[in-house]
């Protein structure tokens, strides 16, 4: 792999000159003759020179790399993609560090490679507390660890309210909330509760998952069906699809039997039977936003608290107007 030194020799100039030319700073900082500049550029090109960013990182103390630590669930790809693409725009590279049960090991890897920023993407709750305090002495800008706003900025509650309001707006009264395990699901359930309270409707939450074997899920679904609700708000799409699934098995059509709304807009929700009404989380945008926050932290040292995203209601065919109560229109 050829170096600046060789270019300097071949072109008959000094390495400084080469450096300045190659960094495109030969117009402002130093005045290098156009003739020399072109010659340098030409030889660099003919020799197939490619700058060694690693060295630049060492010298400048800036690696232009940010580390993403995660378990890399399928669903996270969009977040990562958003982060990677946004980073690329600013000349930053993203490196992936697997979590594999030890957050401190992962963190140390990031430090060893001198990542300028760290994005702990969707850490399991319990790991939040396991982070060695000494890590923070390095002062590396990070998002997703406990000491900052934590997680990604997405307003689960308000987003869930969108779905709940949609169901109420369709004229449904007996609306069941399905699932509430985990802190995120609880925020969604809370959104549901608020909407129900606003409309003086009685909230009913079915909680099947947690130790959550398939069997318990089965029972919960059976109970829901027996309850004959007008609509069911599922705290996540897979849960909703599971419900659709069991209804299908009983030859019960949706939304005829009752409406079903999900949450998350996972890729296949569009192809569910019927296509699922749900709330989208802007994963890609979130990833971009996280990079922006980290970049801001790197540049200015101050945390920009962005307005949390609010999901969008995705209207599809699993929800429909209620006619039972002589529903409006």
Residues 56-75 interacting with a second copy (rule: CB under 8 A): 57-58, 63, 65, 72-75
Element (H, E) at 143: strand 142-143
Q: How far is the CB of 98 from a second copy (least distance, A)?
A: 5
46 binds DNA (CB under 7 A): no
Q: Which is closer to a second copy, CB of 156 or CB of 269?
A: 269
What sign does the CA torsion over 131, 137, 138, 139 have? positive
Residue 65 binds which one of a second copy, DNA, none, with CB within 5 to 8 A depending on kind? a second copy
CB 38 within 8 A of CB 66: no
197 binds a second copy (CB under 8 A): no
265 binds a second copy (CB under 8 A): no
Residue 77 binds which one of DNA, a second copy, none, with CB within 5 to 8 A depending on kind? a second copy
114 binds a second copy (CB under 8 A): yes
Report the chain's C-alpha Rg in angstroms. 27
Q: Which is closer to a second copy, CB of 116 or CB of 230?
A: 116
Report the Cα–Cα distance between both ends of the chain, in Å, rounded: 74
Residues 119-138 interacting with a second copy (rule: CB under 8 A): 134, 137-138
What is the distance between the alpha carbons of residues 27 and 37, in angstroms, rounded to a whole number?
A: 10
DSSP assignment of 37-96 equals HHHHHHHHHHHT----HHHHHHHHS---EEEEEE---GGGHHHHHHHHHHHHHTT-EEEE
Structure token digits, residue 328: 């409006």
47 binds a second copy (CB under 8 A): no
CB 287 within 8 A of CB 94: no
Tell me the sheet residues that pair with 278. Answer: 314
Q: Which is closer to DNA, CB of 137 or CB of 323?
A: 137
Tell me the sheet residues that pair with 121. Answer: 70
Residue 222 binds which one of DNA, a second copy, none, with CB within 5 to 8 A depending on kind? none
Q: How far is the CB of 17 from DNA (least distance, A)?
A: 4
Tell me the sheet residues that pair with 154. Answer: 309
Q: How far is the CB of 294 from DNA (least distance, A)?
A: 22
Nearest-CA neighbor of 325 among 189, 156, 201, 190?
A: 201
38 binds DNA (CB under 7 A): no
Q: What is the largest CA-CA distance in the chain?
A: 90
Q: How far is the CB of 173 from a second copy (least distance, A)?
A: 26
33 binds a second copy (CB under 8 A): no
Q: Give Cβ neighbours of residue 286 (< 8 Å, ≥ 6 apart).
A: 79, 82, 152, 153, 154, 309
| x-marked contacts with a second copy along 136-165 as a string, rule CB under 8 A | -xx---------------------------
| x-marked contacts with DNA along 15-34 as a string, rule CB under 7 A | xxx-xx-xx------xxxx-
Q: How far is the CB of 8 from DNA (least distance, A)?
A: 7
Structure token digits, residue 119: 């994005």
58 binds DNA (CB under 7 A): yes
Nearest-CA neighbor of 87 among 116, 110, 112?
A: 116
Other Cβ atoms closer than 10 A to 262: 30
Residue 17 binds which one of DNA, a second copy, none, with CB within 5 to 8 A depending on kind? DNA
Interface residue list for a second copy (CB under 8 A): 1, 48, 50-55, 57-58, 63, 65, 72-78, 80-81, 84-85, 88, 93-98, 100, 108-109, 111-114, 134, 137-138, 238, 241-242, 244-245, 247-249, 251, 253, 266-269, 271-275
Interface residue list for DNA (CB under 7 A): 1, 3-5, 12-17, 19-20, 22-23, 30-33, 36, 51-52, 55-56, 58-61
């Amino acid at each position: 792999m050829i170096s600046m030194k060789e270019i300097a020799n071949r072109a008959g100039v000094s390495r400084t000159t080469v450096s300045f030319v190659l960094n495109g700073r030969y117009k402002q900082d130093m005045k290098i003759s156009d003739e020399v500049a072109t010659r340098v550029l030409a030889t660099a090109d003919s020799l197939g020179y490619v700058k060694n960013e690693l060295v630049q990182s060492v010298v400048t103390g800036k690696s232009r790399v940010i580390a993403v630590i995660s378990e890399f669930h399928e669903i996270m790809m969009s977040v990562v993609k958003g982060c990677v693409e946004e980073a690329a725009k600013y000349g930053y590279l993203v490196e992936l560090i697997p979590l594999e049960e030890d957050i401190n090991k992962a963190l140390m890897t990031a430090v060893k490679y001198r990542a300028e920023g760290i994005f702990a993407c969707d850490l399991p709750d319990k790991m939040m507390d396991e982070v060695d305090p000494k890590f923070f002495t390095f002062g590396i800008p990070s998002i997703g660890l406990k000491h900052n706003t934590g997680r990604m900025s997405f307003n689960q509650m308000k987003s869930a309210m969108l779905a709940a309001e949609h169901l109420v707006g369709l004229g449904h009264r007996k609306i069941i909330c399905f699932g509430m395990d985990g802190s995120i699901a609880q925020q969604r359930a809370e959104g549901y509760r608020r909407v129900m309270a606003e409309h003086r409707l009685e909230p009913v939450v079915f909680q099947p998952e947690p130790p959550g074997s398939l069997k318990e899920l089965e029972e919960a679904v059976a109970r829901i069906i027996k309850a004959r609700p007008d609509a069911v708000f599922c705290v996540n799409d897979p849960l909703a699809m599971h419900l659709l699934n069991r209804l299908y098995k009983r030859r019960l059509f949706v939304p005829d039997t009752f409406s079903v709304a999900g949450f998350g807009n996972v890729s296949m929700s569009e192809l569910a039977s019927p296509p699922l009404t749900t709330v989208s989380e802007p994963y890609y945008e979130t990833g971009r936003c996280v990079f922006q926050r980290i970049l801001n932290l790197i540049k200015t040292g101050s945390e920009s608290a962005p307005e949390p995203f609010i999901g969008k209601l995705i209207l599809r065919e699993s929800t429909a107007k209620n006619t039972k109560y002589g529903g409006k229109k």
